[in-house]
A and B are shown apart, each in its own frame.
Chain A
Amino acid sequence: MYELSVACKYLTPRWRQLSVSIISLVSILVIALVVWLIVVFFSVTHGLEKNWIYKLTALTAPVRVTPTEAYYQSYYYQIDGISASSDYTLKSIHEKLNSQLIDPYDPSVDEEIPSTWAKPLIDEKGRSKDIVKETYRLAANLPNVKNLIVSDFEMTSGNLRLHMVRESKEGLQSQSLSQTTYLGTFDPTNPALSQVILPLTDADKKNLAREIAIAGGSIKNDGLTVSTIENSNGKQLVLPSDTILGEGILAPKSYQNAGALIGDRGHLTYYAATTSSMQEQHLPVYIAGFYDPGIFPIGSKFILANPELISLVHSSQQQSQVPFSSGFNIRFSDFNQAAEVKANLEKALQENGLAPYWHIETYREFDFTKDLIQQLSSERNLWTLLATVIIIVACSNIISMLIILVNDKKLEIGILRSMGASSASIAIIFGACGMVMGAAGSIIGTLAAVLTLRNLQALVNFIGRVQGYDMFNPVFYGNTLPNEFSFEALLFVVIMTSGISLLAGIVPAIKASMIRPSNILRAE
């Protein structure tokens, strides 16, 4: 294709056509700058968004299934409250999942079933349907979902009171930290959780050793912090407990920022109803680890503990009055499948007559993430719009440069036409000039972006040192900025610059193709 070789020849800088050379160089540099800016910006924001969503779902899941009011009104849920074999106690999802009995009711022992209750859900063989176990089975067997893990969760609240013993010049001093907290189930099968656990510091180790010394007894200074073990089910997290120190809890980073250390002991307090009054209950706990909740809205108050502890606290509350306090977490590796997983599970529940009992949400629909994710999405759209405008401005230079080039190359256009070049070929030559400039700018910008992203942290640290404070607040952005190259951003700028460069080349190309060779050759 000779048109491209002629276009490249025209774009080669020459002293003779200095103005065109300078304008083309500036145009290419401006495009490169814009491409660099967009690729770096979108790579970082894309990475941040990915991290935020990852951390959000580390505490929850890409898809959550929670009981509806119909579940709490069902015979299946309420029957435990009047059954002797269930100790006349309503069961949580976790307990229902581990229960041996589907229907604990014994008409010979238990009181009469109120007439206002819903009828029990019966399967085709006339047996009571186990709503929880059946739902778990359907969710765990969803087709075409990679790394699917289904686990139950519970969420409740309590008050955490920590006693922090610290060394000072006057000797050991005790401080206390008290805060109302949310309590969530520590799920050892959650692969995302291991990614957000913060490393043990020297101060933590020292504090743990001191607490062990203070507690006395025969506590081994080993396996007291949250750790990963490998067993037949693969890698699993372990949140330890100790008979003297208490139940290990995983506290959010905000506790660490408030001065807490691993090993700090305290009590988890909550109120439970007795036959005569509400009594305060104390459970001994200690901090076995810290995690980074990211921008999870209630993350600074969200403590993770083993299911047994959560169940104990949770059972003191009337479950139906605390929405979304229990259910199933459905985890899988590709978050883009969330909507598909939700639809498939809804369909499966519908087919099995279980749909009225469950509310299914993807991470984009959670009450505490919906606004944030919509905001992220809106910002992304706004920046995409801005990026498009910036690319248009950068590429508009090409139009002026090509018009000058067409005027400069009038004689050559005439000569080429006299040799048989068609007007379409002439248009292609100048259109190709625009495309080549766009492509050259994109390549330079992309290479610069790769280089910048590789050294992003050093650059951020340098700017931070120059201005005297961190360039990005670690609370929101984490300790390091993501530097993964965004191919999505690259695709966007390449398509945009190529398209706009081509459009920018069209006007000069048409102008060039309209030139009458006879006029040019006669004038010369």
Chain B
Amino acid sequence: MMDQKYILKAKGLHKSFQHPVKVQIIKGIDLFIRQGEAVAITGRSGQGKSTLLQLLGTLEKPCSGLLEIAGQEVNAFNKATIRNRHVAFVFQSFHLLEDYTALDNVMMPARIARQKVHKGSQAYKRGLELLEKVGLSDRSHFSTKLLSGGEKQRVAIARALCNDPDLILADEPSGNLDRQTADSIHSLLLDFVKHENKSIVIVTHDQSLASMCHSQYILESGQLNLKPNF
């Protein structure tokens, strides 16, 4: 794994918020993630884990620092394309589009990438394959409102894999789920990393999930520290 190329390079990332009072939440973080690497980020609530994840996923703009994803330096002009082609998010609250079916949700990144999504198209077939992979082939045409929490998260994972991203950023992916469902979600995500040779950054409080990753960092006082003896 050590010989593999870096999917993500973050150098000296700083982030502070001005309102209501000035708070420096990320203080010069460096993070390098290789292809196929699973990284867990833990830490107490309010330490900036989600902010860091959003910085890494280009949803948030750092005050300073450099970010390179899949060999491309992130800037204002390419960040939307990078989010669409190289990065995918899995959120604690699933964040599915409620007016769409499970399959439509899965195909949405392909739609945004201007791919054809009609019946029989490549994106359509891939959407069905992914739903089958997450065990929801029988729910593909269900409205997402009718799905359980675990099913919603599976759809969210299938959606994250739609455009075959290099990096998945998961923010408490099992935070709203029961233990058994959470375990199946963890397996799904980590199996994907293993079999597809992709990278993942998981923000979690779940130590058992963190222990399944290749490396674990603790975010404390705006600094990212590699957990010893890991």
Contacts and interface: CB of A to CB of B under 8 A. Distances in A.
B95 A524 contact: yes
A14 interface: yes
A415 interface: yes
Interface string B91-102: 101011101100
A227 interface: no
A14 B114 CA distance: 27
Interface residues of A, number: 24
B84 A14 contact: no
A425 B99 CA distance: 19
Q: Would you call the interface of chain A mostly helix, strand, loop, or mixed?
A: helix
Contact of A420 (B60, B85, B100): B85
13 contacts: A12-B99, A414-B95, A416-B108, A418-B83, A418-B95, A419-B84, A419-B88, A420-B109, A421-B80, A423-B80, A425-B112, A518-B60, A521-B95
Nearest to B88: A419
A15 interface: no
A2 interface: yes
B108 A419 contact: yes
Given A2-B111, A419-B159, 10 more contacts: A12-B99, A414-B95, A415-B96, A415-B97, A418-B57, A418-B83, A419-B109, A420-B80, A420-B112, A518-B59
A517 interface: yes
A524 B93 contact: yes
A125 interface: no
B35 interface: no
Contacts of B54: 518, 521-522
Interface residues of B, number: 29
Nearest to A424: B80
A522 B93 CA distance: 10
A33 to B, nearest CB: 29
Contacts of B111: 2, 5
B14 to A, nearest CB: 16
B50 interface: yes
A9 interface: yes
Contacts of A516: 60
Contacts of B147: none
A411 B91 CA distance: 13
A382 to B, nearest CB: 45
Contacts of B82: 420
Interface in B22-80: 50-51, 54, 57, 59-60, 80
Contacts of B114: 2
Given A521-B59, A521-B91, A419 B112 contact: yes
B112 A421 contact: yes
A417 B112 CA distance: 10
B122 interface: no
A2 B112 contact: yes
B97 A412 contact: yes
Contacts of A12: 99
A176 interface: no
A420 B91 contact: no
B89 A418 contact: yes
Contacts of B109: 419-420
A5 B117 CA distance: 12
B80 A415 contact: no
A416 B80 CA distance: 10
B146 to A, nearest CB: 14
Contacts of A415: 95-97
Contacts of A414: 95
A418 B59 contact: yes
Interface in A492-524: 516-518, 521-522, 524
Contacts of B81: 420
B59 A14 contact: no
Contacts of B50: 522
A522 B25 CA distance: 15
Interface in A1-56: 2, 5, 9, 12, 14
Nearest 9 interchain pairs by C-beta: A420-B84, A2-B111, A422-B80, A420-B83, A518-B60, A518-B59, A518-B54, A419-B109, A415-B95
Contacts of A9: 99-100
Interface in B135-179: 159, 163
